[in-house]
Each structure stands twice: as structure tokens, then as C-alpha cells.
Structure 1
Amino acid sequence: MFSKKLAAPLALVAASVIAFSGCAANEAAAPATSGGAASGLNGRLTGKGASSMSVAQTTWIAAFQTANPGVTINYSPDGSGAGREAFASGAVQYAGSDRALKDEEMGAGKFAVCAPDSNALNLPVYVSPIAIIYKVDGVTDLKLDADTTAKIFAGKITTWNDPAIAALNPGANLPSATITAVHRSDDSGTTENFTDYLAQAAPSVWNQKSAGIWPDAFPGEAAKGTAGVVGAVQSGNNTIGYADESQAGSLGKAQIKVGNEFFGPTAEAAAKLVDNATKVSGRSANDWALKLDRTAQGQYPIALVSYALVCEHYADSSVANLVKSYVGYIASDAGQKAAQAKAGNAPLSADMQAKLKTSIDSIK
């Protein structure tokens, strides 16, 4: 767990939070509904969940606590599943999850920290591109499309000079070496989002549903966690894998074909995935569980969207005020830019920020 992990560069971030807070306080009657911090806040928040958000959460917490010295926030990056379970049981006041709660997980009375008549809200606050990473001697600019990617990870394309890869990379010096495809061995939101891309964009090849656990039907080398996949690709030869772009280091990152264009895993291209998404049907107006369209044009299609899970109505109004202010900061322009500087995530668009502010303001 961590709470006050503040480095010198965050002084500038903290200053922006304080400035943001002052503006918001002048514009709204109650700071908790302003989407910013308030210097008079006091109390403690505990969160748990997605490790993908760990660097962002460290950054957000440090900046928020600097602006609000009476507040202590702890976040344990124990994984999305652990976060969802802890939120439901009332062990934490908010959670981070690499997917929204499913319909069967939603419902009034299912969340101990919430008021008895309250449902949860799913708020997408962290977007991170997933890079297809590779290490192939002599190849520095790899291009792939959905079908070719799916065939590689399904074990149907086994050598780097396969005609399908060669057609996408004219002039490239592709070796005849065997491909080693690396996937996650653990239950992973990164895997769930990567396989969702394959299922949507290459359904004729990838005949499995999206899942956090790699399907037994497809071979490959397994490695635990993001660090494990990156390490396996880095230490091997003629390897390929998938990982959060911010963790890819010096490895090559494939460009992905969408329509007639190729896109790399940039923050700007990944953010468009959220803008092109639609809301999951049957949810309340303030719930932003999203159905991602991995085939829409003009975007990088392989990205992870992590949610803040909060209550519509908290059993304790003081907790509601803290959650509104902290999550409001996370979803604000200042919070998104602060995280990007440290975690390399894709900041939410101004339109999505405004929609989330309305939802966060509704928390009671």
C-alpha cells in the first residue's frame, strides 16, 4: 500500500492542483461537486484494485494530499478482481478495475459501503495503450493487421518471413526464424483487452471470447505480469508479446492497421477509442460503463480502459464528499495531465471529462 510517495517533480503538479482547486471553489457552492480539491477537506479514503493504475494513483494521491493535508488516501494495487471484491464487501470506499462491473455484479444492496438503495457507478478514468512489443534482429518498423496478429498469437503463423507479415512490411529484412509469442500467465486486464481486440477485429481467426486468462487453445510462452512479458520478450530472440505501452522500454512497438491507416500506440490515438465507444445499455444516466469498438476508424484499437468504481449514494456523507473531490480531481484535466506525465496514459478528452464531472457531481 502507499499514500504519500512524493517526488520533487510533483511540486509542480501539486501547484496546479491547488490552482485548480481555487478556481473550482469559486465556481461551485460545494467544493466536493466542483471536480477539484478543497483545502478544508479531512478524512481517510482507502482504495484497491487495478495495478495498471498504480503509478497514476501514486501521482494523484501525492498531489491531492499536498493540496489537502487533512486527507489521507491509500490505494493497494492488488489487481482488478481484488478491487471489485473489496468494494462489494465494504472493505474500501472506491476501487480500480480494468473492466466495468458486469450486469450481474450491479444492483442496489450489493455494495456494503453504499447506501442500501444505491447502485455502483463505473467511471472510466484511466486509458492506456497496449503495445504489441517485439524483438526481431534487423526489424525496427513492424506493421501488422488484425488477422495477422491473431494468427501469430494463435500459433497459425510461426515464422517471421511468413507471406502475410512480408506483405505488410515490403522491403523489411524479415528472418526465417521461428516466432516466440509471449502471453500473460496470470488473470489480467491487459489480456482481456488484448483478446477483446482480437475477437472483434479478427473473428474469423480468433474464435475465443475476450477473457482475462489466456485461452488454453492457443500455444505460446507464458510469463507472469507485465514485467514478466516484457522481460521474456527482451531476453529472448525473435519474440513478440503485448504489454502496457509505458512499460515497453526500448522494445519495438508494432503499428496496427485500421482501415487503410497504421497507428502506433500513442496516447492521442488510444484516447479516441473511448470517444468512439458507446455506453453499455440498461445502465443509469450517470454510469459510464463502455462498450469499446475496436474496429472504428482513426484510432489505435488496443487499449486498456480502467474504471473508478464508486457509489451512487454512500452510507456515510463524509465519505461521499471525499470520493467526489478525489475522483473529481482524477477525472479533471489537471488530474489526467498529472498522471500522463508519470504513467504515460492517454488523457480523457474534454468531452468525456465533462460527462464524468456530471456523474461525479451526482454522487451523494
Structure 2
Amino acid sequence: MNTKRTLLKTVAAAALASLAMGSAIAADITGAGATFPFPIYAKWAEAYKKDTGTGLNYQSIGSSGGIRQIRAKTVAFGATDAPVKGEDLDKDGMVQFPAIIGGTVPVFNLEGFGKGELRVTGPVLAEMFLGTISKWNDPKLTALNPGKNLPDQAITIVHRADGSGTTFNWTDYLSSVSPEWADKVGKGAAVKWPAPTSVGGKGNEGVAANVTRTKGSLGYVEYAYAKKNNISVLALQNKDGKFVMPGDDTFSAAAAGADWSKAPGMGISLVNQPGADAYPVVTASFILMYKDPADKAQSAEVLKFFDWAFKNGKTMASELDYVPLPDKLTAEIKSKVWTQIKN
């Protein structure tokens, strides 16, 4: 009898331990989407788990994938750098809010030239991505870079192969500076790339890897990926005519005058903003959530995570050259957006 009682206690203890473990796993937050903010989400998640014990399972699969996942209700939140239109948010019963601000940068691999050593204007950059400028020693490039011995080398365009908010941000910018790009290609999370010599890469990681190993290449990535992989970045002319380099100061200058209330779901464009110090290719990364979520406990955990990040993650964001949201904006998100979510 004692042996049987002991066995039953052992089985019960094991069952309780298993349930406890299952609860811990269930409590972990699930999200998927944009690769653009992944470096900061990963850093926030590590610190948040140390503080609270709750983990974040975030799949960095691209903005289009994140939208698909949240619509399929397989995650508690989706993440996209290409804001969802107001009518689509209403149709899906979702809310949208920005979580972080960053920049997309032109990266290149040209022997003998490092970060900021070559300059380009928006229209010339568009011609390079169109393929009408196909060599690094094109007269338009040499005119912008006097005294530089640019090689007679073909330009290989590296672009995203997957649906991407980074691509939306990049093509939104190219459309704003080039009527030809706007007419022939336009803006979108996925576009038909016109340059005859081009190669795709999956995620910001894939583009960074392809630029690193392809001589003469030109691509675009979120700035943290350029820094992490030590890839050269072009100096880009802004709307005020000044050549600027990416960084949290120039990203902040671009976002300084943003009016977040002017678009449904706060989905404004931050490309080609005025200001002497403004970087021209800046975007917010957005979070998508259901107003009436099926798993209200998970939804509540998502809001706790971002509330913590808004309060405690500013320094971490700046260290990775993202721009944390200003307190006034986070207060507006909490009062006008989060209050629509039934948890």
C-alpha cells in the first residue's frame, strides 16, 4: 500500500510538473513578420525574459509572411514595415501601431571603396536599380564622385526574394524621387525588378549575404544588418540637397515632424522628409493585432511586452541605431489603439 501511495504521489508530481511546463510554454508570446526590426525585438526579448520569465517566439519571415500569419490566427501579433490600409484593418477587425523606427540603406561591394566614400542622389540610385545605369563608372556616378577612380565594372542588383516591408520602404522612396520608377515599377512589398543583372535574397539576412559575396553588387537592407555585416554604405542625398549617412540621429531628424494621426492605423510614410539632417529612407515597423482576439491571455502578454519595451528598451534601440518612439506617441498608442483590444 505504501509503495502504491508513493507511486501515485510520484505520478501526480510528474503530471503537475508537466502542466507547469506546458503553462510556461503557452505563456510565451508568439509573433511573426518583418525582418527589419528583428535585431531589436531579439534584444528586447532577451532582456524581457530575464525581467519577467516570459519569452518571445518571433519568426523573422518578412512582412508579407507576418500579415499572412496574423490573418491565419497562428500568432498573437504580426509585424510589418508596409502599413496595412485602413479599410483592410477594418475588414480584418485589427488594429495597427508603430513599435520602432529605423532606416533602409543602400549597401554595395566595390573593391577599394568603404562606408560613405561614394555619393549618390535619389534619381541616380533609381537609375541603377532600373538598370539604365549598369556600370560603376557611368558618367552620372563619376560626376557625383570627382577624384574617385570608379572601375569599369557591372552593377549587380541584390533585392529581396520574399514579400518584404523593407522592399516597400525602399520602393516607396525610389517612387518618390523617380517618376520613371514610379511609372514602370511602383512601390510594394514585392515588385518586378527591372535590372537585367540582379539576384534575390531571402530576408535582410539574405540580401546582406549576397552583397557581401558579390563583387560590384548594390542592394538595400535595414541599417542594423549593414553594421552587423560590416558592409559599405553609400552616402545618399536628402531632400534638402545634403549628402547624409544613416544613423539614429539622421533617422530621428526624418521622424521629427511626423503626424501619426493623419493616416488610418498610423500608417504614414517617412521617406524623403525635409530637413538638413534627415535621412531619406526611414520607416516605422508596425504591429498588427486583433481587436477581439481568440486568445485574450496571449494578446494581453503582447501588450505587456511592448509596454515594457517602450519604457525600458530605448537605450537598447539606440545602440542598434533604431529610433525609439517618443513618449507622446506611446501614450497615444496606449490611449487610442490598445483600448480597442478586448483582453
5 Å-filtered alignment, 1:172-211, equals 172-207=148-183, 208-211=185-188
For residue 39 of structure 1, what is the aligned residue in structure 2?
A: none
Question: 1:123 aligned to 97, 110, 116, which one?
Answer: 97
1:276 and 1:293 in contact (8 A); partners too = no
For residue 12 of structure 1, what is the aligned residue in structure 2?
A: none
Question: 1:59 aligned to 43, 63, 70, which one?
Answer: 43
Per-residue deviation at 1:266?
A: 1.0
Cα distance 1:186–1:93, how it changes in 2: closer, same or farther (>3 A)? Answer: closer
Alpha-carbon distance in structure 2 between the residues aligned to 1:307 and 1:77: 14
5 Å-filtered alignment, 1:91-170, equals 91-107=74-90, 110=92, 119-140=93-114, 141-170=117-146
State the identity %. Answer: 25
SS of the equivalent of 2:324 reads coil
SS of the equivalent of 2:37 reads helix
Question: 2:56 aligned to 73, 76, 85, which one?
Answer: 73
Alpha-carbon distance in structure 2 between the residues aligned to 1:125 and 1:52: 12
For residue 32 of structure 1, what is the aligned residue in structure 2?
A: none
Unpaired runs of 5+ residues, structure 2, are 1-25
Question: 1:346 aligned to 292, 306, 323, which one?
Answer: 323
Per-residue deviation at 1:172?
A: 1.7
For residue 218 of structure 2, what is the aligned residue in structure 1?
A: 240
Alpha-carbon distance in structure 2 between the residues aligned to 1:263 and 1:273: 12
AA aligned to 1:167 is: A
Unpaired runs of 5+ residues, structure 1, are 1-41, 111-118
Provide TM-score, normalisation by structure 1: 0.75
Alpha-carbon distance in structure 2 between the residues aligned to 1:188 and 1:316: 27
Alpha-carbon distance in structure 1 between the residues aligned to 2:32 and 2:232: 32
Per-residue CA shift, 1:266-324, capped at 9, x if unaligned? Answer: 122123333344447563xxx42223342433311213421111244546654454233
Cα distance 1:96–1:219, how it changes in 2: closer, same or farther (>3 A)? Answer: same
Question: 2:280 aligned to 283, 301, 305, which one?
Answer: 301
Alpha-carbon distance in structure 2 between the residues aligned to 1:335 and 1:55: 12
Aligned length: 308
Provide TM-score, normalisation by structure 2: 0.79
Per-residue CA shift, 1:98-155, capped at 9, x if unaligned? Answer: 22222342116x3xxxxxxxx4221111222222111223333011111110011111
AA aligned to 2:168 is: E
Q: Which has the larger radius of gyration?
A: 2
Q: Specify which structure has the higher proportion of helix.
A: 2
1:139 and 1:174 in contact (8 A); partners too = no
Alpha-carbon distance in structure 2 between the residues aligned to 1:90 and 1:205: 36
Which shows bigger deviation, 350-359 or 87-96? Answer: 350-359
Per-residue deviation at 1:205?
A: 4.7
2:129 and 2:194 in contact (8 A); partners too = no
